[in-house]
Chains A and B, each alone.
Chain A
């Protein structure tokens, strides 16, 4: 909303300089975004909050200035209600009909005859130009001038163009203005020369046959006021905010008029503001005031709010004197009456549709008294009934651990394209989609973090960073469920290394009984991917990303390892409790053994077989290496293990350890045909 300093001065005495006034307005909730000098005036650009349509006018802002500076509002002098007007020519009676009272509760039409359409007076042209409007002619300019002064959008029709398409049968013909819904097949050419297709969602002003204006949004070209116009019909009405907004969005038209109707205009002042315009027209365009036709009712319900002044202190932490409260409301044109000790009855003026309950009244007191009058205090904060979700601690632990191994945290978009998921070989079968995506790039809620991690990797490969690991913690969406996930991607690390990072992570979370099992996953290379589970709960995936995916993503790398964990699924198994287990007293003895085994025998099988012996002094089994060669033979592999023995009671002798080894070797050769090298 733009207003000028001098325009405001028509309605309130201002002694403050423009900058000081801007500051006052800003601190009262009318944020002044900019002040620009224009000729001998200053233009204020003010951001008006959606709850205050009354501020979308010079008078509304002047009223606020009066209240915050303690000056009187000078409205009565400037505006004067006009009389009924006269019918000087027998050019037929008009009827105004409203078909949809919900969409238009009140409509008024004033006839003014014999106007002279010409350029507006210089002062008016200057003001309109100052706020960025293009002057047209005196009639149109006055409707705009009154719109900005009062907040009431007006429209002037050329009377002689209404119903012009059929020859008036008799001079006493009933001429009609109908406020109705548009019909599906109807069209109108608006004043901007565009043909608009109409639908029943759109409210129109029509004559007997055709729409002549889109209600509250834009007039029609046909009935537009132009140089040769002599008689006009001045429309002033109240159109429903919802209907206006719907039509405005449907048609893609937003005008100064629709902007105000969308936020609601002051129904009670519809006629008064029309009279103000009529007066200006007669002053500046001559002509004779004709009759005023009305349909519907401008009545609004009287609102009286009981206000216990002591509630101000309870809510603000600062008392505001009763006398001050009273003067604030008087300045804002509310009626105030005492109703018992510290209780006021406040009558809300019709233009303040935002004030409906005691809290609104408190806000007004607070706003005009100034937020800076409220002191600062620190409340006693009691323990909340709400307990923090374990997920938060899990996330912190993960972040800490992964940063410790040199990984970088990333945040990527949760909205992705179908195309990207296809590239990442992610199934689209049960993804969740947006109803109204901005573009195809952001159509789907990500079911996995993999794509985002790949894009981070690509960005860094392009900028020359190699051998980096990235992780993301964020929500994923699939099969109707939103879940928190962790994703990790690594360049320049071997599969076992990444598995080690995952194992470290799971250990930090206190997870026991974690199992990696070979599985299939469309995004990972066959035979190189595993599921991760605890019991029968699947908690994640790890594997080597398919080379095709890297190629499709234009990532010039091979050997990318990724892992994903579903934090929601592993949460029930997390255990942060730690108990100190003591330190060993006696030294341990470590022996390495190398076994030649068949390809098909996995490490876990060997460990399982050794574990089955339940050797009481076998403390650790460690993997040392795997080795294949011609010498060993096809279909065979050599596995080296490191076995650590320790007794809690004494130092073990060589003989004892040898006996253990023999037992282990015997078992492995018997059960798994292992051969010691």
Chain B
């Protein structure tokens, strides 16, 4: 038995050229080069050939094998190219058509984020009116009559006393004002309800400050308070550290500095470690200064809220029996927290409502 190598090559060339897809081509490869294919047959007869014919025969067989491989590979490439030419390729580098989605105001988002942390702990949200009585805003909160905060320099008063602004029918026989903090809601809630109370109060507050990058006559606060038979300062520290870790980061450091507020005692201001520079050293003012951190001014700490144990006089003012309850309260500026969290450097941006700003949150 012998083979006509030239004829075989010519036949294979034609068949390979006609193969229209990768599967047919694979079948041809098996037919020629497979374990039981043509080339296997060709080499199988080598032992039957006369010795002197074998080298020539073997060389030709090898040439054919190489040639077939070449043809198959070339055709495979061709098939692949043809296939891609058949479809229109989608250009995924084009930008997607983003739908016009709405946005929640960054202040509202921050309020929600903080409220959610507390409602998960079992706190209930309460709101109060922005037009308040002098009693709820000051007297009830143990702020004495001669306290400077009551001055017209620090609180907006409502003009006509004949226009008594009320949301609820309860009326106070005193001046009306725009609440200067959310704390009057403590008085409203405690007057109406007995402990246990775990309440979180978001809302707008007003102070006669001229508007600049860090001041606004209207801003937002979140107030929280917990009153029960046995609430301790250590609970206040525990709850607020949960807040700081959830709101900022797990690694945040926190410190409680003694402070003074008329409606809490002991009172504290709460600092967190600076979220930008993360250094914790006190200002070094000697000699030449390295560039001071723009967020904390180089102090390493950021004041974020005030808090304390509710003053016994406040409990007395809402009619709770003496010594029956203890509780803590805390309050923070939402605008300030949002500014720190998002790195916003101008409070006015919140109230201009430029979409190029709003869309970033």
Contacts and interface: CB of A to CB of B under 8 A. Distances in A.
Interface of A: 19, 22-23, 26-29, 31-32, 34-37, 49-52, 241-242, 245, 249, 314-318, 357, 359-360, 362-363, 366-367, 371-372, 374-379, 381-389, 391-392, 399, 402-415, 430, 432-438, 442, 445, 455-456, 459-460, 463, 465, 468-470, 474-475, 477, 480-483
B57 interface: no
Given A49-B259, A413-B351, A434-B178, A388 B283 contact: no
Interface in B87-122: 99-105, 107-108, 121-122
Nearest to A470: B353
Nearest to A242: B146
Given A411-B108, A435-B157, A376 B238 contact: yes
A26 B269 CA distance: 11
A29 B217 contact: no
Given A29-B259, A386-B126, A435-B152, A411 B107 contact: yes
Contacts of A29: 257-260
A324 B80 CA distance: 88
Contacts of A437: 156
A113 B107 CA distance: 66
Contacts of A442: 217
Nearest to A453: B353
A434 B160 CA distance: 8
B283 A34 contact: yes
A44 to B, nearest CB: 10
Given A29-B259, A384-B193, A314 B232 contact: yes
A482 B131 contact: yes
B158 interface: yes
B77 interface: no
B208 interface: yes
7 contacts: A49-B260, A371-B257, A378-B235, A384-B124, A411-B108, A434-B156, A438-B209
A482 B129 contact: yes
A383 B148 contact: no
Contact of B311 (A359, A407, A412): A359
Contacts of B123: 381, 384
Interface string B347-361: 000111111101100
A460 B355 contact: yes
Contact of A409 (B105, B198, B267): B105
Interface stretch (B26-34, B46-54, B162-170): B162-170
Contacts of B352: 456, 459
A442 B217 CA distance: 9
A459 B226 contact: no
A409 B238 contact: no
B159 A241 contact: no
Contacts of A432: 131, 158-160, 163, 165
Contact of A392 (B125, B194, B198, B286): B125
B223 interface: no
A424 B107 CA distance: 26
A35 B283 contact: yes
A200 to B, nearest CB: 18
Nearest to B298: A34
Given A432-B131, A432-B159, A434-B178, A23 B354 contact: no
List the 5 closest A-B pairs by CB distance, nearest first: A317-B234, A29-B258, A403-B102, A317-B232, A49-B260
A456 B353 contact: yes
Contacts of A482: 129-131, 165-167
Contact of A411 (B105, B148, B239): B105
B204 interface: yes
